[in-house]
Amino acid sequence: SRTPVTVTVTGAAGQIGYALLFRIASGQLLGADTPVRLRLLEIPQAVKAAEGTAMELDDCAFPLLAGVDIFDDAAKAFEGANVALLVGARPRTKGMERGDLLEANGGIFKPQGEAINAGAADDIKVLVVGNPANTNALIAQQHAPDVPAVRFTAMTRLDHNRALAQLSKKAGVSVSEIRKLTIWGNHSATQYPDVFHAEIAGKNAAETVNDQAWLENDFIPTVAKRGAAIIEARGASSAASAASAAIDHVHTWVNGTADGDWTSMAVVSDGSYGVPEGLISSFPVTTRNGEWEIVQGLEIDDFSRARIDASVNELSEERDAVRKLGLI
């Protein structure tokens, strides 16, 4: 049988962790022929809860699960990691300013970046889920100078999947008939879900829907504010859908996008589409052999340009703020 792949998950005792770990251990992250060894990172107060989850993982008797180890020390948790899912983060609480939020998360993602730099496997792939995901990914990446910057990504796949779901309902088609949807920019309310290059059953999606008012006043805000709507309805933030998107993100990164399709990932910009170099921003990307590439040459009209710019400006501001705080 194959050598197990080491997957480190932070925030393992949280809600997303609880929805995520069982799917990883069952083989859905990497594929049904790849055994996994889990390394869980939590803060000391939550180690006991993580141990409880590990007991349940045992009780599932997953054939692909080669072991579970729990740590409260980042240096140990990332040792030998091939895949790292950075889920644990400091949530924004009432009255907290953006600067406080960035600073608190800098205190988490800086040491985690350093630990990845020091101890992860050479082929490490990092997905940051914890918010503010793009900027947390930037902080970690900046503290891992020996790891190629392209290995640090942030999650906009949940936004991508939310957009697929809304568009499939509107068009009355299965999500499997939709291709080439894009989330641009930041994983925040400024994100831009773009259907102008998307296809429904092989035809242009925007033309097929032919309803600009719906696009502007319904689709875009519904996707961008879906997180808040889930909190309002469920009394807790998205967890199973976030975990599902994290599984999709890594699975696609490792196994490749389908011919004639792409996905959305927040990746380090090379200056494509006017996004300042170095920002971790969401783009249309294809993946192959474990590497991603930004889709080139798409025509961006004024409507899309303004929305991409607004979200990218927010990312630039976040980068400036963490620079000012000395976090990068």
> Which of residues 163 and 242 has its CB atom nearest to ligand NAI in the complex?
242
* Interface region with ligand NAI, contact rule CB under 6 A, candidates 24-32, 126-134, 164-172, 201-209: 126-134
133 contributes a contact to ligand NAI by CB under 6 A? yes
Cβ closest to ligand NAI, residue 21 vs residue 206: 21
The dihedrals phi and psi of 293, each to the nearest 5 degrees, come to: -145, 135
Contact 209, 171 (CB under 8 A): yes
Cβ-contact 325, 106 below 8 angstroms: yes
Pairing of strands 125-128, 152-154: parallel
247 binds ligand NAI (CB under 6 A): no
Residue from 6, 14, 79, 182 binding ligand NAI (CB under 6 A): 14
Q: Which is nearer to ligand NAI, 30 or 155 (CB)?
A: 155
The correct pick among 65, 102, 155, 254 for binding ligand NAI (CB under 6 A) is: 155
Q: Does 153 bind ligand NAI (CB under 6 A)?
A: no
Question: Would you call 143 a catalytic residue per the annotation?
Answer: no
Is 13 annotated to bind ligand? yes
* 11 binds ligand NAI per the rule CB under 6 A: yes
SS (H, E, C) the chain: CCCCEEEEEECCCCHHHHHHHHHHHCCCCCCCCCCEEEEEECCHHHHHHHHHHHHHHHHCCCCCEEEEEEECCHHHHCCCCCEEEECCCCCCCCCCCHHHHHHHHHHHHHHHHHHHHHHCCCCCEEEECCCCHHHHHHHHHHCCCCCCHHHEEECCHHHHHHHHHHHHHHHCCCHHHEECCEEEECCCCCCEEECCCCEECCEEHHHHHCCHHHHHHHHHHHHHCHHHHHHHHHCCCCCHHHHHHHHHHHHHHHHCCCCCCCEEEEEECCCHHHCCCCCEEEEEEEEECCEEEECCCCCCCHHHHHHHHHHHHHHHHHHHHHHHCCCC
Binding segment for ligand NAI (CB under 6 A), chosen from 11-19, 200-208, 251-259, 269-277, is 11-19
313 is an annotated ligand-binding site residue: no
> To the nearest whole angstrom, how small is the minimum distance from the Cβ of residue 125 to ligand NAI?
16
Contact between 120 and ligand NAI by CB under 6 A: the answer reads no
Nearer residue to ligand NAI within complex by CB, 195 or 246 = 246
Please pick, from the candidates 53, 238, 282, 287, the single residue that binds ligand NAI as defined by CB under 6 A. 238
Rule CB under 6 A: choose which of 222, 237, 255, 316 binds ligand NAI.
Answer: 237
Residue 15 contacts ligand NAI per CB under 6 A: yes
Shortest Å distance, C-beta 63 to ligand NAI? 27
Q: Assess 309 for contact with ligand NAI (CB under 6 A).
A: no
Kindly tell me which of 17 and 35 has the beta carbon lying closer to ligand NAI: 17
Sort 210 into a burial class: Cβ within 10 Å, 0-12 / 13-18 / 19+: exposed
In the bound state with ligand NAI, the residue whose beta carbon lies nearer, of 141 and 238, is 238
Q: Does the annotation list 14 as a binding residue?
A: yes
Return binding residues: 11-17, 92, 98, 105, 112, 129-131, 162
Positions marked active-site:
187
Residues of this chain that bind ligand NAI (CB under 6 A): 10-11, 13-17, 41-43, 46, 87-89, 91, 108, 129-131, 133, 155, 158, 187, 237-239, 242
